[in-house]
């Protein structure tokens, strides 16, 4: 059975608070913890995670990796629990990455896709085409076969791309209902015409639009995602500058992202 000594926790820092640092220090007392600080020279979450992961490949005792955000607040046993869930589900699934059930930290409601309908299997596992990396677990063996993150993506869709690449190699990703975490997506949320809109910092739209144009060219990226995201981004270009606070600034970064995505 997996023990705490077999688990590495990877945490990326970016201008952390004192409370964040206290949490990281506490986790470091319980598990082998790799911390990469992006505060001065920000190379993006993809490259930062890659640097942390590469340091683990030569450690014989480490078999599983758990990814946490600096503002994650989980119990002491969380990394061990999700690693054991990973191994349990791996008995019947060719599992690449396992995440917890994720709740919106503002509303307390579970994040659910408006496109996909979850179908839990009889072993308590819900397959998903992609999951977010926060709170997730994978194995060193799987990382060796699927590969590290695409560092060119910098931040947005890094975890999605990794899941899609794993899918193309015959793996599945998904979530377990037996563990839950709260996660905050975006900078804020607003209600517009009855819909909940997640608003990111303006600069994030550069990476979202650029990375979409990069990913849309790759065969292993799901066609449904390409179409749905393309429609969503087209609509954003139309209503953001008119309806969203700081929407003009966001719109300018969208245009910069489109130009960058078309060039390379």
Query: What is the mean predicted confidence (pLDDT) over 83-91?
Result: 97
pLDDT at position 104, please?
Answer: 66
| Average pLDDT score over the chain | 91
pLDDT (tens digit per residue) in 158-214: 999 999 999 999 999 999 999 999 876 655 665 666 666 778 899 999 999 999 999
Q: Is the pTM above the cut of 0.85?
A: yes
pLDDT at position 243, please?
Answer: 84
Query: What is the mean predicted confidence (pLDDT) over 69-76?
Result: 92
**Banded pLDDT at 119 (limits 50, 70, 90):** confident
8-state DSSP, 17? -
pLDDT (tens digit per residue) in 27-67: 999 999 999 999 988 999 999 999 999 999 999 999 999 99
CATH value of 4-183 in 3.90.550.60, 1.10.1510.10, 3.30.390.50, 1.10.10.10: 3.90.550.60
> 60-73: b or e for each residue (b if 16 or more CB lie within 10 Å)?
eebbbbbbbbbebe
pLDDT (tens digit per residue) in 8-23: 999 999 999 999 999 9
All structural domains of the chain with their residue ranges = 4-183, 188-263
């Amino acid at each position: 059975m997996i023990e705490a000594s077999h688990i590495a926790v990877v945490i990326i820092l970016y201008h952390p608070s004192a409370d964040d640092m206290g949490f990281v220090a506490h986790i470091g007392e319980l598990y082998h913890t790799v911390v990469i600080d992006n505060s001065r020279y920000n190379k993006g979450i993809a490259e930062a995670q890659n640097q942390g992961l590469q340091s683990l490949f030569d450690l014989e005792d480490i078999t599983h990796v758990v990814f946490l955000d600096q503002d994650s607040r989980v119990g002491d046993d969380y990394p061990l629990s999700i690693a054991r869930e990973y191994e349990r589900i791996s008995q019947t699934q060719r599992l690449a990455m396992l995440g917890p059930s994720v709740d919106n930290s503002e509303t307390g409601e579970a994040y659910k896709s408006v496109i996909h309908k979850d179908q839990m299997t009889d072993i308590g596992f819900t397959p998903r085409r992609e999951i977010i990396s926060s709170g997730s677990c994978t194995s060193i063996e799987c990382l060796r076969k699927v590969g590290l993150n695409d560092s060119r993506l910098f931040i947005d869709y890094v975890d999605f791309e990794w899941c899609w690449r794993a899918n193309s190699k015959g793996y599945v990703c998904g979530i377990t209902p037996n563990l839950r975490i709260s996660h905050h997506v975006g900078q804020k949320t607003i209600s517009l015409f009855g819909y909940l809109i997640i608003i990111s910092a303006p600069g994030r739209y550069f990476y979202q639009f650029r990375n979409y144009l990069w990913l849309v060219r790759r065969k292993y990226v799901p066609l449904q995602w390409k179409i749905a995201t393309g429609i969503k981004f087209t609509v954003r270009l139309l209503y953001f500058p008119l309806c969203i606070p700081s929407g003009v600034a966001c719109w300018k970064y969208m245009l910069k992202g489109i130009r960058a995505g078309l060039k390379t």
